[in-house]
Structure 1
C-alpha cells in the first residue's frame, strides 16, 4: 500500500538531472532502485506463477487445502503486476505522471490486493487451526465448495475495505489541484484510516497471533505425547523381546526333554528286544559275542563288513528316523518361537519410523509457523504503524526515502510468501523442479 500523505509534510520533489530525465533521486540511486525493485518484482511474479501452476499441474498438490495457497499466490501476483511497477516509477520521479483516474485505480488495486494477501494468510491460519484441533470432523467439512466460499469471502471483504474511497470516503484533491501537486496518496481521513487498517491488518494480526499460539501449543502437546508414546513402545518392545526369548528357551528345553525321554524309552525297548532275541538264540550269542561291536569289529571286517545281528539295520533306521524327526520338530518350534518375535519387531520398527516421520513433520510445521508470523509482522507492522500514526500526528514528517522503504518492506511479503509456504514442502519443490525442467523429476 502507498502511505497516506500528511498535508503538512508536502516536501517538493528532488531536482536531479540524469540520463533518464529529471528525477527525485540521484542517477546512481535511481539505477540501484530500478535493479533492486525490478528483481523483487521478477521474483514475486515467477514465484507465485510457479505456485499456481504447481498446484494445477502436479497431482500430489491438487488437494483442497492448497486452494488457499493458490488464492494467496493470485493476490501476491496481482500486487506484483498491478501495483509494484507503478510504485517504482513514482518513487524515482517523486511525482505522479499518469493522471488522476489511473491514480485512483492504482490506489484501489493497492489496497485490494494487499488486503487480499493478508486475509488469505489469515484464512490459511484458520484452516490449519481447524485441521489440527479437530481433524476428523473438519476433514469432512473441508469440501471444495466450502473452501471456495471462504476464498470468495476473503476477496469480497478485501473489496469492501478498498472501495469506500471510490464512493467519497477520501480527501483526494479535485482534478485541478491534483494536476498541480501530482501526488497520488491514500486517503488520510482518520475514520477511513482506522477502518482500513483494522480490516486489512490489525484484526487479521490478532486472529493469526491467537491461532498460531493455539497451533503451537497443540503441536507441542502432541510432540510430548508422541515422545512419551515412543518411550512406552520401546519398553513394550523390549519386554516382548524378553518374553519371546523366554518362550524360545522353554520350547527348546521342552523338546530336548521329550527327546531324552523318547531315546531312553527306545533304549529300554531295545534292551528288551535284545533279551528276547538272546532267549531265542543262545547258541548264536555264545558263538559270536562280539556281533554288537558293529562294522569296525574284527568279525565284521572278516565277514565283509556285514553284521550278523538282524536287528541292527532296523535299530539304525529307527535312530535315523528319530533324529530326523527331532531336528524337524526342533526347527519348527524355533520358527514358531522366533517368527512372532521377528514379526512384532518389524511392526514396532514400522510404528517407530512413522512416529519419527510424524514428529519431524510437526517440528518442521511449528518452525514454519514461527517463520510465517515473524516475516508477516516484520514486513507489514512498520507500514501500518506509519499509516495510522501520520494522520493523527501533524508534526510527524517521515522522509520520502523512509516512506518508500517502509512501503516496499510490506510489498516484499508478497515475494516471500511463495518461498515460505513452499520451501518446507517436498511436493512443491518437486513441482517447481518439474516445471523448470530439472532432470530426475517425473
Structure 2
C-alpha cells in the first residue's frame, strides 16, 4: 500500500483533476470487482480449511493465515483506497487516515512475510522430511504465524511513529506518510520486501534442486530394481491389465511430502498385481520385497516420464509463486526506493495508484497459486460450490 512517500510535488495535478467521470466510474467498478474477488477467494480458502478435516494440517495453517491476511487487505484496505482514488483526496478524517495507513502497511507486509514463512516451511519439509515431520505441529505453525505478525508490526511501526506532518495546505487533504529520512525508506523496504524476496528466491531454488535430486534417486532406484529383476529372473507378470486389478497394493513411491504438494496426484502409478517367480539362483534377495507390482517393465517405462512431469510441475509452480510475487510487488518497492532517495524524482498520482494496486492484486493471486495445485483443496472447493448451489 502507501507505505511511505517523499514530500510530493503537485500531488493533485490539474490534469488528474480533470479526469472524465466515465473513466472514474469504470476505474472504480474495476477496482471494486478486484476487491470482491479477493474477498471471495480468500473466504473460500479459509472456509475450505475450516470445514475439511483432510486439510487440517500444519502446512495448511500457514496457508489459512495468509488467506486471513489477504482478506484483511481486501476488506480493510482496498475499499478506502477506492474512495481515495475516486475523490482524489482524503475525506474521512485524520484518525481514519492513520488507522488505514497502519492496517495497510502492516497487512501488506504481513502478507509478504507469510510467503517467506511458507517457503521456509516447504524447504524444511523437503530437505529434512523425516525429522521435520515430527516437528511440524499445529503449535509450531501457530508460532510461525505469531512471529510473522510481530515482525510485520516491528517493520511497519517506525515510519508511522516518526511521520512528518507539514502545514502545507496542498497536503491537508492527502493520506500519506511523509518523511525526510532515507533511513526509514531503507528500513521499511528492506524489511517488508527485499530481504523476504531474497529469502524466497534462495529457498525455492534449493527446494527445486532438492526435488530434482529426489527424482534422480527414484529413477536410479527403479533402474537398480530392474537390474535385480533381470539378473535374478524376476520376470514381470504378463497378465492383461484387466486381470490384475484385484486388490493389488500400490507400489511405494519414494517422494517426499513436499514433492507431492507440488505434483498432481493424477500422475501417480495405478495399483498393480504382485507377481513372484522363484528360481534357484537369486542374486538380489534384498530387493525381493520391493517387487509388488503387476508390470515392472511398464513401471520402468513410465518412471522417467512421470518424474519429468512432476519436475516440470514443480518448476512451473515455483515459477508462478515467484513470478506473481515479483511482478506484483517489485515495481512498487523500486519506485519507493527511487522516489525517496532521489530528491528530483517523482511519479504521477496515476502511476502511484497503479503500482499500489498491482501490489494489492497479489492478495487476489495468492489463494489461487497456493491451492490450485493441491488436489485436496480442489475437491474441498468443489464440495463447497456444490453445497452453495443448493442453498
Whether these two folds match at TM > 0.5 is yes
Question: What is the deviation of 1:359?
Answer: 6.5
Of the three residues 189, 205, 208, the one matched with 1:213 is: 205
Moved more, 415-424 or 83-92: 83-92
Contact 1:54 1:431 in 2 (8 A): yes
Moved more, 397-406 or 106-115: 397-406
Of the three residues 91, 98, 118, the one matched with 2:85 is: 91
Corresponding residue of 1:406 = 355
Moved more, 101-110 or 429-438: 429-438
CA deviation map 1:31-60 (0-9, x unaligned): 221121111111110110111111111121
Corresponding residue of 1:109 = 103
Of the three residues 217, 221, 230, the one matched with 1:229 is: 221
Contact 1:83 1:106 in 2 (8 A): yes
The answer to whether the aligner puts 1:434 opposite 2:383 as a matched pair is: yes
Corresponding residue of 2:35 = 41
Gap regions ≥5 residues in structure 2:
238-275, 280-287
CA deviation map 1:176-203 (0-9, x unaligned): x578631111333422111111111011
Of the three residues 51, 55, 71, the one matched with 1:57 is: 51
Contact 2:328 2:362 in 1 (8 A): yes
Q: Secondary structure at the match of 1:129?
A: helix
Corresponding residue of 1:329 = none
Q: CA RMSD in A?
A: 3.1
The answer to whether the aligner puts 1:346 opposite 2:288 as a matched pair is: no
Corresponding residue of 2:173 = 182
Instruction: Give the TM-score, by structure 2 length.
Output: 0.78
Corresponding residue of 2:270 = none
Gap regions ≥5 residues in structure 1:
17-22, 246-334
Residues in 2 aligned to 1:173 and 1:223: alpha-carbon distance in whole angstroms: 60
Of the three residues 27, 30, 39, the one matched with 2:24 is: 30
The answer to whether the aligner puts 1:423 opposite 2:366 as a matched pair is: no
Residues in 1 aligned to 2:340 and 2:26: alpha-carbon distance in whole angstroms: 31
Question: What is the deviation of 1:388?
Answer: 1.3
CA spacing shift, 1:67–1:38, aligned 2, 3 Å: same
Q: Secondary structure at the match of 1:11?
A: coil
Question: What is the deviation of 1:336?
Answer: 7.1
Contact 2:236 2:295 in 1 (8 A): no
Contact 1:3 1:383 in 2 (8 A): no
The answer to whether the aligner puts 1:367 opposite 2:359 as a matched pair is: no
Contact 1:51 1:70 in 2 (8 A): yes
Question: What is the deviation of 1:399?
Answer: 1.3
Moved more, 191-200 or 375-384: 191-200
Moved more, 75-84 or 178-187: 178-187
Contact 1:44 1:414 in 2 (8 A): yes
- The number of residue pairs the alignment matches comes to 340
Question: What is the deviation of 1:10?
Answer: 2.5
Matches within 5 A, 1:274-285: none
Contact 2:73 2:107 in 1 (8 A): yes
CA deviation map 1:327-372 (0-9, x unaligned): xxxxxxxx9769x9xx755284897689976775554233211210
Question: What is the deviation of 1:234?
Answer: 3.5
Corresponding residue of 1:118 = 112
Residues in 2 aligned to 1:439 and 1:84: alpha-carbon distance in whole angstroms: 26
The answer to whether the aligner puts 1:172 opposite 2:120 as a matched pair is: no
Corresponding residue of 2:339 = 390
Instruction: Give the TM-score, by structure 1 length.
Output: 0.70
Residues in 1 aligned to 2:178 and 2:236: alpha-carbon distance in whole angstroms: 78
Contact 1:47 1:418 in 2 (8 A): yes
Residues in 2 aligned to 1:243 and 1:349: alpha-carbon distance in whole angstroms: 9
CA spacing shift, 1:179–1:109, aligned 2, 3 Å: farther
Question: What is the deviation of 1:231?
Answer: 3.0
The answer to whether the aligner puts 1:154 opposite 2:154 as a matched pair is: no
CA spacing shift, 1:102–1:242, aligned 2, 3 Å: closer
Of the three residues 51, 55, 62, the one matched with 1:68 is: 62
Residues in 1 aligned to 2:165 and 2:229: alpha-carbon distance in whole angstroms: 74
Contact 2:236 2:296 in 1 (8 A): no
Question: What is the deviation of 1:437?
Answer: 1.4
Contact 2:7 2:178 in 1 (8 A): no
CA spacing shift, 1:355–1:91, aligned 2, 3 Å: same
Contact 1:226 1:355 in 2 (8 A): no
